[in-house]
């Protein structure tokens, strides 16, 4: 494992100074890798295919919750699976994009990797989530969505704190708003992602990562069957083995993003026109095959997305690409705020006709997502980037010209005495 993952500036930690010719070559190598990584990250960040994947995911979630509010139930079609699939596609997309972010960070600096990464992610996730949690609590907004409508959750102090810290799955508290259930899983994935990046960087091919995915899935089932806790029951935790399985249940949804990262630079062989078709087919396959274990079935769909995303050429600039770009840009706000928009449009204004309700829903969701992106998300994302850059490029040596800053200089006298 790369030691730079754990480097820190406490207790006077310092970097050694290599010989000039080694330093020049190393700096040139880092500059070249940083440029390549930057180009790859920009390509991923501006990918119209990934914009479509992210917008497709958030629209699945929003569509499912509208269906849940109106209690739309179809015996042959599990509408609940659509929202779950959307969340799992978010996990694949997020992992892929963050792998490029870590690549650029590691190529541009030899400093610590974990802390700057976590700072950026916390500044990205917590502010808007905390605002939504506090708003639902202070204004007593019904945010517990059940089939047929919203209910007001009477929160204890412990529940409120767990939601503000996004640790509901650890403290076994109910998420409020309910959509927040996925954010603790994502934050906990961040803790392992730098190490997974180092693993992926050393893996010779995507086959190694796919073999790791298969091994994780096999181990998960082996522990489950050996302990007798499968199929998993909702809510209760009867044993440490069951707790472990529930805590890691979504891990196979994140790993396909690493597979996609390993495949990203390969030549694209499939036409862009088939990318939306591929997503629709994956959605249909998931709904048809999910059965009683939709999460485990979703693992295979996530792996299919991770494998497939790197085989399709980029979508051309058209109306679908432009719309996907805008939805993807504001997707975090859409994800967190669509409960409120559904409640306002279809519960508060339930006496209006359907056309006006739909217009109110779209207006509330769009305006709040855009407003809070520019007022909260973007400024704090920028602040997180500034802080992480200072951490990543911090020179831990107190004086670059001093003997203390050069461990080799301190060793030479001892070497001279020993000879």
In-domain check, residue 6: no
Contact predicate 237/246, CB 8 Å: yes
The pLDDT of residue 40 is 58
CA 149, 169, 54, 112 torsion: positive or negative?
Answer: positive
List the Cα angle 132/45/216 in 5-degree steps. Answer: 80
pLDDT of residue 157: 93
290 within domain boundaries:
yes
Instruction: Tell me if 241 is assigned to some domain.
Output: yes
Burial of 204 (0-12, 13-18, 19+ CB in 10 A): exposed
Give a yes or no: residue 371 inside a domain: yes
Q: Which domain holds residue 365?
A: 15-413
Looking at residue 312, its pLDDT comes to 95
Nearest to 331 by CA among 96, 39, 89: 89
CA 139 – CA 252 distance, rounded (Å):
38
Neighbours of 415 (CB within 10 A): 9
CA separation, residue 45 to residues 42, 97, 375, 409 (Å): 5, 7, 22, 44
The DSSP call for residue 233 is P
Residues of the chain falling short of pLDDT 70 = 1-45, 74-80, 108-111, 235, 393-419
Domain count, the chain: 1
Residue 212 to residue 342: CA distance in whole angstroms: 41
Residue 2: inside a domain: no
* pLDDT of the residue at 230: 86
Share of the chain above pLDDT 70, in %: 80
Residue 10 lies in a domain: no
What's the longest Cα–Cα distance across the chain?
Answer: 93
Least Cα distance to 300 among 281, 282, 278 occurs for 282
Whole-number pLDDT of residue 14:
31
Domain assignment present for residue 208? The answer is yes
How confident is the model over 15-64, as pLDDT tens digits?
333 333 333 333 444 455 555 555 556 666 689 999 999 999 999 999 99
Structure tokens at 407: 């461990």
Query: Tokens 């180009």 map to which residue?
Result: 39
Residue 9 within a domain: no
Q: Report pLDDT for 240.
A: 87
pLDDT digits (tens, 9 = 90+) for 332-371: 999 999 999 999 999 999 999 999 999 999 999 999 999 9
Element (H, E) at 48: helix 48-69
Whole-number pLDDT of residue 264: 93
Q: How far is CA 21 from CA 24, 26, 28, 346, 410, in A?
A: 5, 9, 11, 69, 20
Model pLDDT, residue 77: 62
Q: Which parts of 35-180 are beta strand (E)?
A: 144-146, 149-151
């Amino acid at each position: 494992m790369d030691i730079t993952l754990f480097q820190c500036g406490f207790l006077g930690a310092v970097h050694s100074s290599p010989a000039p010719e080694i330093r020049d070559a190393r700096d040139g190598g880092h500059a070249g890798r940083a440029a390549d990584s930057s180009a790859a990250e920009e390509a991923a960040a501006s990918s119209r295919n990934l914009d479509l994947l992210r917008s497709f995911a958030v629209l699945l979630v929003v569509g499912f919750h509208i269906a849940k509010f109106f209690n739309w139930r179809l015996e042959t079609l599990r509408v609940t699976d659509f929202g779950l699939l959307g969340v799992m596609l978010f996990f694949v997309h997020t992992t892929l994009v963050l792998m490029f972010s870590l690549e650029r960070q590691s190529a541009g600096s030899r400093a610590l990797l974990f802390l700057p990464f976590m700072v950026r992610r916390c500044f990205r996730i917590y502010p808007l989530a905390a605002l939504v949690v506090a708003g639902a609590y202070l204004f007593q907004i019904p945010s517990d969505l059940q089939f047929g409508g919203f209910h007001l959750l009477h929160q204890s102090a412990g529940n409120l704190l767990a939601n503000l810290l996004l640790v509901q799955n650890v403290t076994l508290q109910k998420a409020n708003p309910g959509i927040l259930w996925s954010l603790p899983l994502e934050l906990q994935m961040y803790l392992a992602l730098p190490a997974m990046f180092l693993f992926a960087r050393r893996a010779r091919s995507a086959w190694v990562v796919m073999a790791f995915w298969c091994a994780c899935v096999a181990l998960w089932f082996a522990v489950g069957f050996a302990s007798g806790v499968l199929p998993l029951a909702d809510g209760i935790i009867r044993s440490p083995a069951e707790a472990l399985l529930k805590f890691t249940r979504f891990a196979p949804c994140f790993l396909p993003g690493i597979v996609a990262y390993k495949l990203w630079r390969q030549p694209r062989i499939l036409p862009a026109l088939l990318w939306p078709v591929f997503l629709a087919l994956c959605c249909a396959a998931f709904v048809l095959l999910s059965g009683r274990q939709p999460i485990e079935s979703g693992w295979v769909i996530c792996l299919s997305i991770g494998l497939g995303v790197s085989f399709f050429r980029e979508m051309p600039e058209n109306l679908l690409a432009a719309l996907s770009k805008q939805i993807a840009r504001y997707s975090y706000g859409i994800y967190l705020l669509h409960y409120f928009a559904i409640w306002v449009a279809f519960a508060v204004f339930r006496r209006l006709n359907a056309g006006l309700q739909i217009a109110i829903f779209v207006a509330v969701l769009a305006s709040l997502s855009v407003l809070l992106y520019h007022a909260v998300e973007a400024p704090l994302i920028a602040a997180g980037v500034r802080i992480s850059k200072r951490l990543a490029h911090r020179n831990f040596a107190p004086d670059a010209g001093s003997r203390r800053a050069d461990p080799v200089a301190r060793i030479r006298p001892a070497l001279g005495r020993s000879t």
